[in-house]
A and B are shown apart, each in its own frame.
Chain A
């Protein structure tokens, strides 16, 4: 009988193992949806074969914003101030447009204190993945409603949300977002595909991920609980992803399946679960979102996608090399230039 040998760990195209993409130990509650999202994020970068050193992680303040410490320790990370991560990420990605930026935020961080920065990040179409871990509640301060809490939804203590909820996806659509997806922390397959598509996208890729708070908002009466999303989740498509470095198999039915080429040459394949839904139609996406909200459903999938929308660095016409490390002769004009300026001021 042969001695069993330990199987070699699976590696990606760089020869890196999944361990090379791991982060620190999570300090979030056991069962928190956020931990599952962290796993999906690191798997996406692993599967796509992106070196962790090429990734920059950004976050604000809140439970969600702690998570960059729990995945990909070999990536630089910036845990900024509450609601202002988008500006920090914008600055960093202007300084170095070759980085893969990924921001993790929450519904408080994005839709309450940080809504102004979120709005303008989307408008600028900064090339980065922007994940909202949306649980409708403030966890670190022990359970207050956020602006995404649905009206009628209750807190454990009995408080009822009475203000209109901000639908992050609908908001982003109105703002001209180039990539809008919604998923659920418990839907491993859909979330994985959407994350890979987000990484492959060349602008702000917004993913609103319902991520139940097991401690403060997972009870009967909450619209952000595991059971509610499982019952009322309404996927638009069955999604699959073919990275740019893999050959596309052509075996799909164009009548029921749509294929979109993403910014980096990857392909997103959408098998329609809903006849007539076209993710390049912003108006339809908006009305479909509002219909589902009215019906108490949680619409998920690739809501809208425009792979050709120019990102901020492109619109500014930036040089290809990172601004951060341009050599001095490219950034300090010559003595002759100053002489000419002085002469013009005489």
Chain B
């Protein structure tokens, strides 16, 4: 598939973010088109459109998550990469459970977005299976305690809350958490959540005792 065959839609109410992303993507040979609001994008998009959506989450009017919901309801299946300035675990969980391809925290280096975009466009069941296998392999390296900490962190617990639940000190939780991030190769909370969702959705995750 040629890059020029697909469109990249950028929904962000910030003019500079939209314009700069479009410039970056154009330089990579993509056809990029910006929308200042979710509403504007919904008016534009039709069935059978081929491409990938890059959308902010928090916007006045319809939020990115509302947009995702509307698209699902209209039966429009396009990969979505969310970009947001607030990395908030429940929000990330909701976005990823809703089928978002990824969840990037602003600001991100060019290559992270470009890699993510390429993956989203090339998304295939095979690719997903490979990702799941990789995640499961890394998850197998975690100790029991690290798995507990990961589960709580992914559920949106703060270190303090997790410490209370597990009956250990917040400092210990932080140490476990750092190790979990390392072992899982996660480059951020959103990535960890994404990986956790990936293996929870998979029956193989029951290998987890």
Q: Say whether A associates with B.
A: no
